[in-house]
Amino acid sequence: MSVRSGRGADAVRPIEQQIILVTGATDGLGRAVASELAGHGATLLLHGRSEERGKRTLAEIKARTGNSKLKYYRADFASLSEVRDLAERIEAEHNRLDVLLNNAALGIDPVRRVTADGHESTFQVDYLAPYMLSYLLETLLIASAPSRIVNVASAGQAPINFDDIMLERSYDGMQAYCQAKLADVMLTIDQAAELSGTGVTVNCVHPAFNMPTKIVTPMFTPQSEIADGVR
């Protein structure tokens, strides 16, 4: 099998030869996808913001799949400097990256929060962080082609008010989430065009409705149960 590098390359590598970075891999959809890919023999780079949950996730996926080709990277996407550090570590430790799965996200937060970078937190974690990570890893992805970027978006989208993107004047958790997901779709379209001809494909997906994850479950759980700690 010939290994493609940049333009003019050939077939996608078998899954067991691929190196895949999954962000937000310690819970929900990211964890399920990581476990499935590990079961097929891929090398998994798993990202999360908790060292404890990361170690637990590695142990559980290894026990379930028998795959030891797993490594955890801690980074809080509420800090853009940590996003940059994550990209630098990936580039320093790996000479190839076949897939970047931008999955990490905040859900619908009823309270407006601001990151240390001064951005509304949902917009930063759900959009600015994957935007930054994708472009910082672009050179590595091109050198690894055929490769791909997959952005986890949503069918829930809302127009962006460019006069108040950070929702300083009027905050609504649903608007914050849905406008960030529309921004992810816009990022996908733009970057797919920019990378046309490089061997890197860029796609976004709406994974499913009503998944039993921390983002989805609270929307269908009575507030009284949430207050009592039922998730």
Confirm whether 1 is domain-assigned. no
> What is the C-alpha to C-alpha distance for residues 208 and 103, in angstroms, rounded to an integer?
13
Higher pLDDT, 212 or 59: 59
Q: Band of the pLDDT at 207, cuts 50, 70, 90?
A: confident
Confirm whether 4 is domain-assigned. no
Confirm whether 5 is domain-assigned. no
> What is the C-alpha to C-alpha distance for residues 97 and 147, in angstroms, rounded to an integer?
7
Residue 162: which CATH number? 3.40.50.720
What range does the domain containing 219 cover? 15-227
> What is the C-alpha to C-alpha distance for residues 38 and 15, in angstroms, rounded to an integer?
9
Confirm whether 20 is domain-assigned. yes
Told to judge if 171 belongs to the known catalytic residues of this protein, a careful annotator would answer no
Catalytic residue among 72, 127, 131, 177: 177
Question: At 100, phi and psi to the nearest 5?
Answer: -115, 115
pLDDT above 90 (res 221): no
Q: Band of the pLDDT at 103, cuts 50, 70, 90?
A: very high
Listed range (9-13, 86-90, 214-218) with the worst mean pLDDT: 214-218
Cα-Cα-Cα-Cα torsion 80, 20, 141, 88, nearest 10 degrees, comes to 40
Determine the average pLDDT of the residues in 151-165: 95
* Contact call for residues 128 and 174 (beta carbons, < 8 A): no
Determine the average pLDDT of the residues in 61-70: 97
Determine the average pLDDT of the residues in 142-161: 96
Confirm whether 116 is domain-assigned. yes
Confirm whether 118 is domain-assigned. yes
Confirm whether 10 is domain-assigned. no
Question: At 23, phi and psi to the nearest 5?
Answer: -90, 150
Tell me how many domains the chain contains: 1
* pLDDT digits 0-9 by tens, 162-197: 999 999 999 999 999 999 999 999 999 999 999 999
Q: Tell me the β-bridge partners of 151.
A: 102, 204
Q: Which residue's entry shows tokens 């993107």?
A: 165
pLDDT value, residue 24: 97
> What is the C-alpha to C-alpha distance for residues 210 and 202, in angstroms, rounded to an integer?
25
Confirm whether 3 is domain-assigned. no
